[in-house]
Chain A
Amino acid sequence: MGRQYLLYGAVMLEIEIDGQAAQVAEGSTVIEAAHQLGIYIPHFCYHKKLSIAANCRMCLVQVEKAPKPMPACATPVSPGMKIFTHSDMAIKAQKGVMEFLLINHPLDCPICDQGGECQLQDLAVGYGSSASRYQEEKRVVSNKDLGPLVSTDMTRCINCTRCVRFTQEIAGVMELGQAFRGEFAEIMPFVEKTVDSELSGNIIDLCPVGALTSKPFRFGARTWELSRRKSVSPHDGLGSNLIVQVLHNKVLRVLPLENEEINECWLSDKDRFSYEGLNSEQRLTKPMVKQDGKWIEADWAAALDYVSHALRDIAAKDGAESIGALLSPHATLEELYLAQKLLRGIGSENVDFRLRHSDFSADGKRAGTPWLGMKVAEVDKLDRVLLVGSFVRKDQPLLAQRLRKAVKRGARVSVLHASDDDLLFKPFAKAIAAPSQLPRLLAEVVKAAAESKGVAADAALSAIVPGESARKIAESLLEARQGAILLGNYAQQHPQAATLQALGHQLAEIAGIRLGFLGEAANSVGGYVAEALPKGQGLNAAQMLAQPRKAYVLLGTEPEMDTADGRAALAALEQAKTVVALTAFKSAAMLDYADVLLPIAPFAETSGTFVSTEGRVQSFYAVTKPQGDTRPGWKVLRVLGNLLEVAGFDYESSEQIRDEVLAGQDGFVSGLDNAASGVSLTLDVAASTFERVADVPLYFADALVRRAPSLQAARDAVAPTARLNAASLSSLGIAAGSLVRVRQGDASVQLLAELDGAVADGCVRIAAAHVDTVSLGAMFGSLSVERA
């Protein structure tokens, strides 16, 4: 009965399972101990990431000296415990439980989508009997409408409550519950509600039976027909690991590939369901060239020839600097690298992948590549956090999940933002103000921290007087053992992003905490590694639109949706002589402004590499063949390089390109550093009424997800409205629900006014990246609202 004290303080207990001796940590349960030994105990309701419910009773085992079988998931180990998982008593108990579970479960495996990957089916083979003794009527439960992503067959539910616990504990809001009691208990959302969480798809994986299945995949294929291939998500900066399931060269389903250091066993709905966009009708499958205003399909040779001639002509006539390239941050590292190499090869420095950014004044002043500032897995270990300008729940759903975990462990997370969105945890302190005032608010926190710590603050902050919430935030950050200030997508897109970065760095130095950027896109770090941004006299993304070019090369982007100012992007592209779009999709706008469309392979159809927000290098293979005449982007760029006679374009594989970019950096890239020196702080921007608060809603964020029909039917994809708080609405004399005209500069659109108490005073929240609001222009700026 020995107890051993290990270095890290956990008490180890000696126990015995099925005759095997084991040492397990005190406080662990029998099922954990068994798994540690590789002994499988059948179970349904137990899940390592969820709280213990012990309601399915499938994991009953025999424990020496215990008079009755014990549930392994809820029985803590004790010194000298002897457990028998396959004794007569245990097997009898497990078989008994199985008989009860099957009483009400329909015997419809042949028509059930879960068939072949069903825990109940599998365990019934081992523990069920060949015939049922049950003669009475079976229970029938009506199906529930959980929204466009999750399909229900509630009669199959065994009431394990995994889905309920997931919504409550991981997704952060209890959207499902177990109503009624006893035989009548059923899992349901609140009356007439759906499950709208951005993580809702995980309940499909969690459901051990066929009660919750994927709606987009429903009746699509049997699990054993599908091949399982590894990939990496092309969406947010996290780089979630995926299993992509393919049949007949078509992606039919995406599941999480468990990686404890990144996505754990979860996926956001965007990562899980965006594959639907791959089969969109808007897929471009043949090269197309516009001749005399008409689009004609061309073969690759002709199209590439056209492109090389067009670019050469313009470089010769107007100078190479009249060519600009806008690259998607969702493109692969190899594509980004070749695109910048191509542009530089023909003599243009105008190349950028930071399309939604509006402040580039930190260029040349950064100490290194902006990154998360820590490993993803460290986020839930933080104890003090300041979240600046971040719609984290929608932008990086799984990082928000980690922050929620941190808060549960007692972390104090404060918020500084233009909108007080519900993060599904209670912020410790918050400072909400118009976008123009965010730098000043952060400066207040810096000043308060400096004063409290008795160190000198930056001279530029001499006029700053910290307010109460700034002091509260500063005090909490000064207590940090593992602290961080995290700059969200919105802070990175802010017109004073460099000021926010510099202030963040100062605050991090004063408080002894880390500064991090939440990665906007799959290759937000990779773009820097590939040097896909201008140096010297080159124009950045904003300048390329403000000073229109003669020719544009677009890589995987729809600039009207993907840039900081969609209106300016459209104007710049429309006036250009030549627009070459390397794209997987075509759109009406693109057919209008482009001159050549080259179909390049989207996610799943090309090999490549993403460098995640933590600097992790993740390469992947194509999981299907490219559709139609589509070719991987790196191959298209290689041929273009050859045609334009740029040196060093004879690559034979994407791996060769990757190895050239990374030059031996393995696992994680080097050169990551969030410090910036010599940035002049801009703190005295006057607030205007009204200011636009533009979020990029998660299902509008990139070309692929914009074309995933099921996600577009989700609550998060509703058309943008003009959201104002009650004070703003009443000052304008406008009723929520009425039509308003919103003017920004000389543009205007009509939108429905909506009451949103979270929006800062004097602000109107109008989503960007949507076809309804593109014509408004920049994501930041002042606008007026009037009755329509």
Chain B
Amino acid sequence: MLSESSLKKIDREVAKYPAAQKQSAVMAALAIAQDEKGWLDKDTIACVADYLGMAPVAVYEVASFYNMYDLEPVGKYKLTVCTNLPCALSGGAHAAEYVKEKLGVDFNQTTADGRFTLKEGECLGACGDAPVMLVNNKRMCSFMTPMQIDKLIEECK
């Protein structure tokens, strides 16, 4: 199901843990699988589970818990705005409203052109940089004032 190169990458992650604890690599394996497939459908999750010797539902628990993992297709750019309390108090809520208005979509929606998907995120561990946003699960953007948001969206065209 997953390509040879993805499996090789997963092997590298698995090698970081004791042989009897392959499941420790589940988060990395899901990220690798998602990089290949774009999002995690049930077959991909079952494939990761099988590869790591885990119950599929145990992998599904992880995949559904963290919002870096997408259980549905997303646009080319996935913007995640943190709305946990420290961010919310420091402009996160406003940042989310601003993005919504600018893109014309609500949380968990994708723009008509398929370019942006907006997600509400959980704490990214950088409360001092609030408000923070995440682009495509990997790139973190700090101090997202409306000006910064405009700049980011411009970049993502």
Query: Considering the chains assembled together, what is the distance between the CA atoms of A177 and B45 in angstroms?
Result: 14
Any B CB within 8 A of the CB of A296: no
Any B CB within 8 A of the CB of A188: yes
A173 and B55: CB pair below 8 A? yes
Which A-chain residue is minimally distant from B61 (CB atoms)?
A: A177
B42 and A177: CB pair below 8 A? no
- A168: chain B residues at CB < 8 Å are 55
A189 and B57: CB pair below 8 A? yes
Mark A residues whose CB is within 8 Å of B: 168, 173-181, 188-193
Any A CB within 8 A of the CB of B58: yes
State the main secondary structure of chain A at its contact with B: loop
Q: Which of B42, B45, B57, B64 contacts A176 (CB 8 A)?
A: B57
Q: Interface readout for B39-58 with A: 1 if CB under 8 Å, 0 if not? A: 00010011000000001111
- A176: chain B residues at CB < 8 Å are 57
B56 and A178: CB pair below 8 A? no
A63, chain B: closest CB distance, angstroms: 30
Which A-chain residue is minimally distant from B53 (CB atoms)?
A: A426
A181 and B58: CB pair below 8 A? no
Given contacts A177-B60, A177-B61, A180-B64, A192 and B42 within 8 Å (CB-CB) = yes
B66, chain A: closest CB distance, angstroms: 8
B55 and A180: CB pair below 8 A? no
A190 and B60: CB pair below 8 A? yes
Q: Which of A175, A180, A190, A193 contacts B65 (CB 8 A)?
A: A180
Which A-chain residue is minimally distant from B54 (CB atoms)?
A: A174
Q: Which of B45, B57, B64 contacts A174 (CB 8 A)?
A: B57
Which B-chain residue is minimally distant from A191 (CB atoms)?
A: B42
Query: Considering the chains assembled together, what is the distance between the CA atoms of A189 and B58 in angstroms?
Result: 10
Which A-chain residue is minimally distant from B55 (CB atoms)?
A: A174
Q: Report the tally of A-B residue pairs with Cβ distances under 8 A.
A: 39
- A175: chain B residues at CB < 8 Å are 55, 57
- B56: chain A residues at CB < 8 Å are 190, 193
- B65: chain A residues at CB < 8 Å are 179-181
B57 and A193: CB pair below 8 A? yes
- A180: chain B residues at CB < 8 Å are 64-65
- A188: chain B residues at CB < 8 Å are 57
Query: Considering the chains assembled together, what is the distance between the CA atoms of A191 and B57 in angstroms?
Result: 8
A212, chain B: closest CB distance, angstroms: 16
Which A-chain residue is minimally distant from B122 (CB atoms)?
A: A181
B55 and A191: CB pair below 8 A? no
B130, chain A: closest CB distance, angstroms: 20
A190 and B46: CB pair below 8 A? yes
A190 and B57: CB pair below 8 A? yes
A426, chain B: closest CB distance, angstroms: 10
Query: Considering the chains assembled together, what is the distance between the CA atoms of A191 and B55 in angstroms?
Result: 12
Q: Which of B46, B58, B122 contacts A177 (CB 8 A)?
A: B58
- B57: chain A residues at CB < 8 Å are 174-177, 179, 188-190, 193
B138, chain A: closest CB distance, angstroms: 20
Which B-chain residue is minimally distant from A188 (CB atoms)?
A: B57
Best-buried of A175, A176, A181, A192 by chain B (most CB within 10 Å): A181
Sampled A-B contacts (5; CB under 8 Å) = A174-B57, A177-B55, A177-B58, A178-B61, A190-B57
- A190: chain B residues at CB < 8 Å are 42, 45-46, 55-57, 60
Query: Considering the chains assembled together, what is the distance between the CA atoms of A173 and B58 in angstroms?
Result: 10
Query: Considering the chains assembled together, what is the distance between the CA atoms of A181 and B123 in angstroms?
Result: 13
Q: Sorted from nearest, which 3 A-B pairs have the closest CB atoms?
A: A177-B57, A174-B55, A190-B57
Which B-chain residue is minimally distant from A175 (CB atoms)?
A: B57
Query: Considering the chains assembled together, what is the distance between the CA atoms of A176 and B56 in angstroms?
Result: 10
A175, chain B: closest CB distance, angstroms: 7
B74, chain A: closest CB distance, angstroms: 17
Best-buried of B46, B57, B58 by chain A (most CB within 10 Å): B57
Which A-chain residue is minimally distant from B67 (CB atoms)?
A: A181
- A173: chain B residues at CB < 8 Å are 55
Q: Interface readout for B60-75 with A: 1 if CB under 8 Å, 0 if not? A: 1100110000000000
Within 8 A of A (CB), among B111-149: 122
B6, chain A: closest CB distance, angstroms: 21
Query: Considering the chains assembled together, what is the distance between the CA atoms of A389 and B45 in angstroms?
Result: 35
A174 and B60: CB pair below 8 A? no
Query: Considering the chains assembled together, what is the distance between the CA atoms of A501 and B13 in angstroms?
Result: 49
Within 8 A of A (CB), among B93-124: 122
A174 and B42: CB pair below 8 A? no
A152, chain B: closest CB distance, angstroms: 15
Query: Considering the chains assembled together, what is the distance between the CA atoms of A175 and B58 in angstroms?
Result: 9
A193, chain B: closest CB distance, angstroms: 7
Query: Considering the chains assembled together, what is the distance between the CA atoms of A174 and B61 in angstroms?
Result: 11
Which B-chain residue is minimally distant from A184 (CB atoms)?
A: B64
Given contacts A173-B55, A174-B55, A193-B56, A179 and B61 within 8 Å (CB-CB) = yes
Query: Considering the chains assembled together, what is the distance between the CA atoms of A193 and B42 in angstroms?
Result: 11
- A192: chain B residues at CB < 8 Å are 42
Query: Considering the chains assembled together, what is the distance between the CA atoms of A36 and B61 in angstroms?
Result: 36
Q: Which of B55, B64, B122 contacts A179 (CB 8 A)?
A: B64
Besides A179-B57, A181-B65, A189-B57, 7 new A-B residue pairs in contact (Cβ under 8 A), listed by A number: A177-B55, A190-B45, A190-B46, A190-B57, A190-B60, A191-B45, A193-B56
A454, chain B: closest CB distance, angstroms: 35
A191 and B60: CB pair below 8 A? yes
Query: Considering the chains assembled together, what is the distance between the CA atoms of A175 and B56 in angstroms?
Result: 8
A170, chain B: closest CB distance, angstroms: 14
Query: Considering the chains assembled together, what is the distance between the CA atoms of A459 and B79 in angstroms?
Result: 77
Query: Considering the chains assembled together, what is the distance between the CA atoms of A188 and B45 in angstroms?
Result: 15
- B64: chain A residues at CB < 8 Å are 179-181
Query: Considering the chains assembled together, what is the distance between the CA atoms of A177 and B61 in angstroms?
Result: 6
Which A-chain residue is minimally distant from B66 (CB atoms)?
A: A181
- B60: chain A residues at CB < 8 Å are 177, 179, 190-191
Query: Considering the chains assembled together, what is the distance between the CA atoms of A190 and B57 in angstroms?
Result: 5
- A191: chain B residues at CB < 8 Å are 42, 45, 60
- A178: chain B residues at CB < 8 Å are 61
Query: Considering the chains assembled together, what is the distance between the CA atoms of A191 and B122 in angstroms?
Result: 24
- A193: chain B residues at CB < 8 Å are 56-57
B72, chain A: closest CB distance, angstroms: 12
- A179: chain B residues at CB < 8 Å are 57, 60-61, 64-65
A427, chain B: closest CB distance, angstroms: 15
Query: Considering the chains assembled together, what is the distance between the CA atoms of A176 and B61 in angstroms?
Result: 10
B113, chain A: closest CB distance, angstroms: 29
Which B-chain residue is minimally distant from A180 (CB atoms)?
A: B64
- A174: chain B residues at CB < 8 Å are 55, 57-58
